[in-house]
Structure 1
Amino acid sequence: MSFKIAIIGAGSVGFTKKLFTDILCVPEFKDIEFALTDVSEHNLQMIKAILDRIVEANRLPTRVTATTDRRKALEGARYVISCVRVGGLEAYADDIRIPLKYGIDQCVGDTICAGGILYGQRNIPVILDFCKDMREVAETNVKFLNYANPMAMNTWAAIEYGKVDTVGLCHGVQHGAEQIAEVLGAKSTQELDYVCSGINHQTWFIDLRLNGRPIGKDELVAAFEVHPVYSRQEKLRIDVLKRFGVYSTESNGHLSEYLPWYRKRPDEITRWIDMSDWIHGETGGYLRYSTETRNWFETEYPQFLEAASKPIDRAKRSNEHASHILEALETNRVYRGHFNVKNNGVITNLPQDAIIESPGFVDRFGINMAAGITLPEACAATCIASINVQRMSVHAAISGDIDLLKLAVLHDPLVGAVSTPEEVWQMVDEMVVAQAAWLPQYAHAVPAARERLSTSQVKTREWAGAARRSVRSIEELRAEKAALKQAG
């Protein structure tokens, strides 16, 4: 087979390498072309060197090109994969820092809440540019695989306004299934059969079977509560399981910021989170992790390049959906996974226009969703609150309506539990002014927002958050990795 895959945001080096090696685990795909594109020439050249080394080491005919000219990369592409982070870590830092001034403490801030909503405002204009280029220069039936957050908003915009065949992909479901298999004593997730449905980062394991045996709430709660690690790391997630009756796919820290109950007071935050790793609820945890990862890669690049000389091990193909979807579409080997698509009746008690994440099957006819799923009422209610915020956020990003943007942020569950309307109005003004370089649709609103900020009487505070850690130096990271290696 010979076709072209374009990867936008290919400077996300580790993830691009994973997708690349996964795809090349499919024997039929050895003769394809990967076109890498990114706004950073520096990052592009680093990842191209790594991928070229993989191709050389495995003696493959695979072609790898790299260009900052996105349109050139998209020419003739059959598949386009997006891993972009618009605004980079600079804008992301504001997604965490500014809401903290108003008492809003986020662990990740990339889905909803104040940070996730502004992230969507930066992404959506760029997503629509991607779609325009795809319609004009890619293959006629190009498929867009979006990995970038905020997943639901980006996918919603690409489908509804970009008019491109789009699927959103995430790995939260797989990671949740791995946890469940472990606490139930399964040898692998192959023993676990499950239906997981909802919206991205708020999907729910509504049907669980271990080797064909149904697993109920009480058994699952007991299994998590006796686990020596998860009983500490997933306290909030276990509490939601007890109250809702089903387990959420998302990590302790991620789940905490989509709900109005666990992060609204500093003492509650420290009660429910765990500081053993960023993902369990640390303030700005993913920002710290991303910063450390970037610094580590820049410093240790020669080691990454050397590691690329090893042969591809097909047994280590990851459970990221992209390679499996492409394999199913191109070879007709059926793949079952969980995909982000427009609802259109798949989940009976969620809005039709929402982007849902639910089970589906892929073959040469495309992605076919399992329809007629009904969520437990509490799960549906929680999802609908987020969907309403997502819908307003998408419409605000498309129209450049700053008042609608403020209403979207006001209706966010955690923001509403913490901040007053006056605080939300000022916070959004401050975020739009700070991120104006990445928000072209709000250019007309920036002068008035800046003027309002100069006369505002709303008080803020400089606050690092309830559970903040400093970015570790390269020396500290080296010492920690060495200690972990020595320990086992």
Structure 2
Amino acid sequence: MAKITFIGAGSTVFAQNLLGDILSYPELADSEIHLYDIDAERLSTSEIVARKIADALKIKPTIVATTDRDRALDGADYAINMIQVGGYKPCTVTDFELPKKYGLRQTIADTLGIGGIMRGLRTIPVLVGMARDMERLCPDVLHLNYVNPMAMNCWALNRASPIRTVGLCHSVRGTAAQLARDIGVPVEEINYLAAGINHIAFYLKFERNGEDLYPLIRKVAQDGRVPEDNRVRYDLLQRFGHFVTESSEHFSEYVPWYIKRDRPEAIERLNIPLDEYIRRCEVNIAEWQQTQAEMEDPKTVIQAVRSNEYASEIIHSRETGISRVVYGNVINRGSITNLPADCCVEVPCLVDGNGVQPVTVGEIPMHLAALMQTSINVQRLTVEAALTGDRSHVYHAAMLDPHTAAELGPDQIWSLVDELIEAHGEWLPASLRHAA
């Protein structure tokens, strides 16, 4: 019987998806589920959800909800992490509002850009602290991380701790389904290979029975059938020749070309949703409040519907030995030969009873690797700052960030970093709060 611990289980809607995935496997139906969060109210709602899922599936797993992290982690076989350090308020709002003073606009701000840098700086020390607890309480655990900034977090964790960490993101699978709809081919008939770094991976192959489907994808643009929310990615396809795995709203802020304050017409033409994550957070908060009210009603019944997340598949494969391929964020170590060996890459991974085993992709197209390298530079400096406390690397990361550097000069970047560090205050390590 596997012990599966949810860290940040107060993320009720996401926890519900993963719980439904895991418990719907008969081989995992008797799992020991430990739900951990620092917010007792949210945790209580997630516990109700877990029990309703078990009732719907007519199974009897062990379900424990606790605000005691040691209890949750003690002896865990799997730890699924879904925390958000600093929350929507104050930290996410700060990451958007302060840059706006300088004319720097963002869409999501959780992966790269100045928002991604600050999110990494406040998240990495917390994750490393959790890894230290795992070393003490469950040294053989498989840590499945869903927390952004994905690449920075996984890079830092694998460098700072021997705990096995794999980062999981649904962008590869989700985008494949979107493309399948765009070209009118059933996704189950499509075979694809993607590789890169999280949110900047590209489909190197997109085929059906050996037939290259890229001509059909390009025809979507030629025929004027590009979905309104995908204009940036189709524009990039025309220029780079491959389709990127993360959404247009995400990708637009990873490069210097799309969000330009002196080109508002381009932002409108490409339908780039500035401040999108702020809106999503508000929607998520309202959704959680509705979920809480519904769950408190004893008459509410939950149906377990499978999501497209990888966590349950990894757990099931490791417990049963059934082989699967998933996409994981892991330390490179030669999987992509023309990216740094120590960076975090997103590649296919074979999963079976032996664990998660990254596939060797080899060399990817030179221009794709060059694009990824601009993000890897920022990731490396942010990880270094978070692990060593050297504040100078925060300035360097911000200056090398493609979108930030395209909009602001050195003095502005330096001043913005100072303001953000001061505003985040207690959410950052003390070493970073001292002026460089």
**TM-score grouping bracket, smaller chain normalisation:** over 0.9
Counterpart-to-counterpart distance in 1, 2:149 and 2:229 = 24
How many Å separate the matches in 1 of 2:51 and 2:221? 44
The corresponding residue for 1:377 is 366
- Superposed CA deviations along residues 226-282 of structure 1, whole A, max 9, x for unmatched, are 364x343222111100010000111111010001111122515524432xxxxxx31
- Residue number among 264, 267, 276 corresponding to 1:285 in the alignment: 276
Structure 2 CA distance, aligned partners of 1:55 and 1:173? 29
Contact 1:432 1:442 in 2 (8 A): no
1:198 equivalent in alignment to 2:196: yes
Structure 2 SS opposite 1:167: strand
8 Å Cα contact 2:23-2:54 kept in structure 1: no
The equivalent residue for 1:479 is none
Distance in 2 between the 1:155 and 1:89 partners? 22
Please state whether the residue corresponding to 2:169 is helix, strand or coil.
coil
In the alignment, which residue of structure 2 is the partner of 1:309? 301
- Residues 258-269 of structure 1 correspond to what in structure 2 (within 5 A)? 258-265=254-261, 266-267=263-264, 269=266
Q: For 1:124-152, what per-residue CA distance to the aligned partner results, in whole angstroms no more than 9, with x for missing partners?
A: 000111100001011x3111000000000
Closer/same/farther in 2, CA of residues 292 and 215 from structure 1, 3 Å limit: closer
Aligned to 2:161: 162
Determine helix, strand or coil for the equivalent of 2:397.
Answer: helix
Shift of 1:371: 0.5
Per the alignment, residue 223 of structure 1 pairs with: 220
Q: CA shift at 1:398, angstroms?
A: 1.0
Q: Distance in 2 between matches of 1:349 and 1:238?
A: 25
**One-letter code aligned to 1:355:** C
Question: Is the 8 Å Cα contact of residues 273 and 282 (structure 1) preserved in structure 2?
Answer: no
Deviation of 1:39 (Å): 1.6
Closer/same/farther in 2, CA of residues 308 and 122 from structure 1, 3 Å limit:
farther
Measured in 2, the distance between the counterparts of 1:28 and 1:305 equals 29
CA contact (8 A) 1:146 1:169 kept: yes
1:39 counterpart = 2:30: no
Query: Are residues 443 and 346 of structure 1, via their aligned partners in 2, closer, same or farther at CA, if it must alter by over 3 Å?
Result: closer
Work out the CA distance in 2 between the residues paired with 1:443 and 1:386.
Answer: 22
Q: Please list, as runs of the form range in 1=range in 2, the aligned pairs for 1:284-433 lying within 5 A after superposition.
A: 284-304=275-295, 309-312=301-304, 316-433=305-422
Question: Counterpart amino acid of 2:194?
Answer: C
Q: Name the CA shift for 1:225/1:86 in 2 (closer, same or farther; >3 Å).
A: farther
2:118 corresponds in structure 1 to 118
Q: In structure 2, what is the Cα distance between the partners aligned to 1:4 and 1:121?
A: 30
Distance of 1:25 and 1:212 partners within structure 2: 34
- Look up the match of 1:239: 235
AA matched with 2:92: Y
Return closer, same or farther for 1:198/1:272 CA change in 2, 3 Å cut-off.
Answer: farther
How big is the alpha-carbon RMSD for the aligned residues of Structure 1 and Structure 2?
1.7
Distance 1:273 1:436 in 2: 36
Q: Which runs of 5+ in 2 are unaligned?
A: none
SS, match of residue 5 in structure 2: strand
Match of 1:256 in 2: 252
**Aligned CA distance change for structure 1 residues 240 and 443 (closer, same or farther; 3 Å):** closer
Offset at residue 361 of structure 1 (A): 1.1
Identify the residue that residue 26 of structure 1 maps to in structure 2: 25
Secondary structure of 2:337's counterpart equals coil
Question: What SS is found at the alignment partner of 1:356?
Answer: strand
Q: CA deviation at 1:308?
A: 5.8
Moved more, 286-295 or 325-334: 286-295
SS in 2 for 1:270: helix
Cα distance change on mapping 1:210 and 1:272 into 2, 3 Å: farther
> Matches of 1:231 and 1:296 in 2, distance apart?
26
Partner of 1:439: 428
1:1-57 deviation per Cα after TM superposition (whole angstroms, max 9, x unaligned) = x12111111111100010001001110111111111112111111111111222234
In 2 relative to 1, CA 363–308 (structure 1 residues): closer, same or farther, beyond 3 Å?
farther
Q: Is the 8 A contact 2:195 2:361 kept in 1?
A: no
Is the Cα contact below 8 Å between 1:398 and 1:441 reproduced in 2? no
What is the one-letter code of the residue matched to 1:298?
Q
Alignment partner of 1:338: what SS?
A: strand
Q: Secondary structure at the residue paired with 1:204?
A: strand
- Structure 1 12/82 Cα, relative in aligned 2: closer, same or farther at 3 Å? same
CA–CA distance in structure 1, aligned partners of residues 112 and 354 of structure 2: 33
Distance 2:217 2:302 in 1: 40
SS in 2 for 1:337: strand
TM-superposed CA distance for 1:302, in Å, is: 2.7
TM-score by length of 1: 0.85
Matched pairs, number: 433
User: Equivalences for 1:429-468 in 2 at 5 Å?
Assistant: 429-442=418-431, 444-445=433-434, 448=435
**C-alpha distance in 2, partners of 1:423/1:195?**
41
Aligned-pair CA distance for 1:439: 0.5
**SS in structure 2 at match of 1:234:** helix
Alignment check: 8 A CA contact 1:436 1:442 kept: no
CA distance in 2, matches of 1:110, 1:354: 18
The question of 1:130 aligning with 2:130 is answered: yes
TM-score (norm 2): 0.95
Give the match's secondary structure for 2:140. Answer: coil
